[in-house]
Amino acid sequence: MSEGTSLGMEDLSQDDIGTIEETAEDTILSRQTSVNLVPFVGQRFVSQEAAYEFYCSFAKQCGFSIRRHRTRGKDGVGRGVTRRDFTCHRGGYPQMKPSEDGKMQRNRKSSRCGCQAYMRIVKRADFDVPEWRVTGFSNIHNHELLKSNEVRLLPAYCSISTDDKSRICMFAKAGMSVRQMLRLMELEKGVKLGCLPFTEIDVRNLLQSFRNVDRDNDAIDLIAMCKKMKDENPNFKYEFKIDGHNRLEHIAWSYASSVQLYEAFGDTMVFDTTHRLDAYDMLLGIWLGVDNHGMTCFFGCVLLRDENIQSFSWALKTFLGFMKGKAPQTMLTDHNMWLKEAIAVDMPQSKHAFCIWHIVAKFSDWFSVLLGSRYDDWKAEFHRLFNLDFVKDFEERWREMVNEFGLHTNKHVISLYALRNFWALAYLRHCFFAEMMSTSQAESINAFIQRFLSAQSQLDRFVEQVADIVDYNDRVGAKQKMQRKMQRVCLKTGSPIESHAASVLTPYAFGKLQEELVLAPQYASLLVDEGCFQVRHHTEEDGGCKVVWIPCQGHISCSCYQFEFSGILCRHVLRVLSTNNCFHIPDQYLPTRWCGVSSSSTNTFETATTMKDNSEKIHLLESLASTLVTESVETEDRLDAACEQIAMALSRVKDLPRTTHNAIDIAYNCPSESLILQDVEEADGIIRFTVGNSHESVTLGKLKERRPRDIVEISRKRRHCSGPCCLSVQ
């Protein structure tokens, strides 16, 4: 048995989801190992995979292999995986497997002997960025550890690198046998006979997988699929490039609806290049944006064989070709230097920024070991620096941070400072990013991308599967938009400015503005010069933001640049407007991009005539519904008949195809006070609907038995309903 020190190891079979072990970091190993490879409690990793690779390297050096023992969600539902246990491959005990007829099957000999060695990681989120921390570690084994020339034969370490796979594929095309391949690679690598990190069986399995996946034919089918979609819809766009060996090198495409969405909301976008199609070893790039309802919209997709400046340049030029040469005002990407250089050349007019989430995700690898117990303090200070409003404050605080933590010579800190124009908000607030830098939008975009990664089973079907995902997203988005429009707007301040904004902005944009309105009264507005105000929080004695307001010119601006950054007026400006008896927000500060009217060009993009026709039909439907309610509540028989007929009509409508599901969203782009529906409430068999602007609810009836007093109650409630009304049956 090897020697070691156990750090709070308990029986791994116990259900101790909520247990987190915090023990000392004085780990003693049975073998002399590199200090940098020893796990310790409190160590941080950016992902489960990073922790697995680290522990795997440690185990290989010690003489054993590991496996994933347990995956748990801390609360069971809703939060995903929050804990992971990695154990020695000999942990646990073998279990006999009974056959269907009740007899015991012949089981192969198992290597499991109940070994207690393990490493546990728990997911935590600091500043909205998740990371995994080691909360338990033990290196006690109840078996002998393998020597270095033996451990490589464990199945976990019999891996073939990408370069070796390519050479094996080339050798196979040349007609070499497997044994000849192994011998040649041993000579090339200068290793002894039989000392490669993989065996003859591994090579044969790899060759069999090559035969199962014919990438060249799949690429041809992929191009054929794009051509078919182009024939069916001339507005579908695609481009591809073939290399010198007649292999597909790059391919990009965009759907007709995506091009139209880009025309309306292509002012800012995300170009995500952090994922690959593993089955075909191609880089996946996705262009995404956000519409006026805050929902993710798809602009285009690209598959690249290589990750370099030339590949990214081809992708950007192709995308511009799809979008009629229109480049976005701003673009968010991951921390990729090749992509940075390509954007500087091919989209010089676009403001390029790095997504802060991708940068912060690397911090645990960069700084956790270096800073140790001070890592959390440094991370908190970095986030304060990131959110600063003014360049002067950033530069001053950055120097203080570097001095405090002694990071003058750290290469990552030097690089971050050199690229501060690409990530620090103090340098980006004058550019419009449509709230895409917020944590909620980052999560929404990431969830959207995950759907694409699940569609990579067949390359030739990938374009079609992506089309299904985009279409599904459009349908769900249209339904959510309609639901939001039909919900009653809740005014929190009662100010005329709030009422005005509610009638113009989409529910998403209004919600953002309303947050600022609620906070505005906490600020003091001081006139310091003609048209110039100093606005600061009531708890502050100096400082604050400078607001310039020139009423005759309709100009107003704030030094925090929130309007320029998000298109939503800040609390400082709203405070000045309300203090100076301004009851409406100037039109130029209610951008069309965030108005409900602009949704008319986002979904189905009908002609103006069609839009007008749809609008008239909806208003007619509103009028009929209002009249129906008014007439139905007169008597119980009328009410029963109306409920029965409406139920039949609704059932018939639901049976109709959804090919024009977005047309309604186009026509119904302006809030109508006569069509404001709340959620249906059902109590004691009586269905209640909110009617018009009334705060009362109209009782439409009981579906089965009805008591006589219900009619009286209906009549009373009808007298409270003075405005037009409509009903909706679920």
Residue range 718-730, pLDDT digits in tens:
334 333 333 333 3
- pLDDT (tens digit, 9 = 90+) per residue, 408-442? 999 999 999 999 999 999 999 999 998 888 877 77
518 within domain boundaries: yes
Please check whether residue 306 lies inside any domain of the structure. yes
Count of domains for the chain:
4
Of 101-115, 229-243, 595-609, give the lowest mean pLDDT range. Answer: 595-609
Residues 195 and 133 in one domain: no
Task: Give the helix ranges, DSSP H, for 77-199.
Answer: 148-151, 162-173, 178-189
Residue 608 has pLDDT above 60, yes or no: no
Identify the pLDDT of residue 611: 38
What CA–CA distance (Å, rounded) separates 145 from 147? Answer: 7
> Which range of residues forms the domain containing residue 133?
37-93+111-152
Do 543 and 470 fall within a single domain? no
> Band of the pLDDT at 330, cuts 50, 70, 90?
very high
Helix (H) or strand (E) holding 700: strand 697-702
Helix (H) or strand (E) holding 286: strand 282-290
Considering the domain architecture, whether residues 198 and 344 belong to the same structural domain is answered as no
Q: pLDDT tens digits for 238-269?
A: 999 988 777 788 999 998 889 988 998 999 99
In a domain, 323, yes or no: yes
Whether residues 524 and 477 fall in one domain: no
Same domain flag for 278 and 327: yes
| Statement to judge: residues 467 and 509 lie in one domain | no
- Give the DSSP letter of residue 597: G
Is 21 part of any domain? no
Taking the C-alpha atoms of residue 485 and residue 282, their distance in angstroms, rounded to an integer, is 41
Cβ atoms of 676 and 693 within 8 Å: the answer is: yes
Q: What is the CATH number of the domain that holds 477?
A: 3.30.420.10
How far apart are alpha carbons 553 and 197 in whole angstroms? 74
Residues 553 and 432 in one domain: no
Q: Are 674 and 626 in contact (CB under 8 A)?
A: yes
Residues 611, 600 contacting (CB under 8 angstroms): yes
> What is the mean predicted confidence (pLDDT) over 150-154?
69
656 versus 682: which is more confidently predicted?
Answer: 656
What is the C-alpha to C-alpha distance for residues 183 and 189, in angstroms, rounded to an integer?
10
- The residue among 147, 156, 152, 162 whose CA lies nearest residue 191 is 152
Q: Residue 583 domain-assigned?
A: yes
Decide if 389 contacts 536 (C-beta within 8 A).
no
- Assigned domain for 195 exists: yes
Question: Could you tell me if residue 261 is inside a domain?
Answer: yes
End position of a domain, from candidates 594, 619, 642: 594
Q: How confident is the model at residue 223 (pLDDT cuts 50, 70, 90)?
A: confident
Cα atoms found within 13 Å of the Cα of residue 220, Cβ hemisphere only: 4
pLDDT of residue 343: 95
**Residue 628: inside a domain:** no
> Nearest Cα to 136, choosing from 46, 69, 90, 233?
69
Q: Are residues 222 and 309 in the same domain?
A: yes
Q: Are residues 464 and 506 in the same domain?
A: no
Q: Which of 364-373, 611-620, 668-677 has the lowest mean pLDDT?
A: 668-677
Same structural domain, 557 and 452 = no
Interior/surface letters 257-290, b for 16+ CB within 10 angstroms, e for the rest? bbbbbbebbbbbbbbbbbebbeebebbbbbbbbb
Q: Where is the domain boundary, 484, 503, 522?
A: 484
**Is residue 232 over pLDDT 50?**
yes
Query: Of 440, 461, 484, which marks where a domain is finished?
Result: 484
Helix, coil or strand: residue 124: strand
Out of 134-143, 232-241, 543-552, 690-699, least confident range: 690-699
Q: 288-302, 461-475, 578-592, 691-705: lowest mean pLDDT where?
A: 691-705
Mean residue pLDDT of the chain comes to 75
Same domain, 464 and 515: no
Asked if residue 222 and residue 204 are part of one domain, the reply reads no
pLDDT of residue 449: 77
Backbone angles phi, psi at 660, to 5 degrees: -120, 40
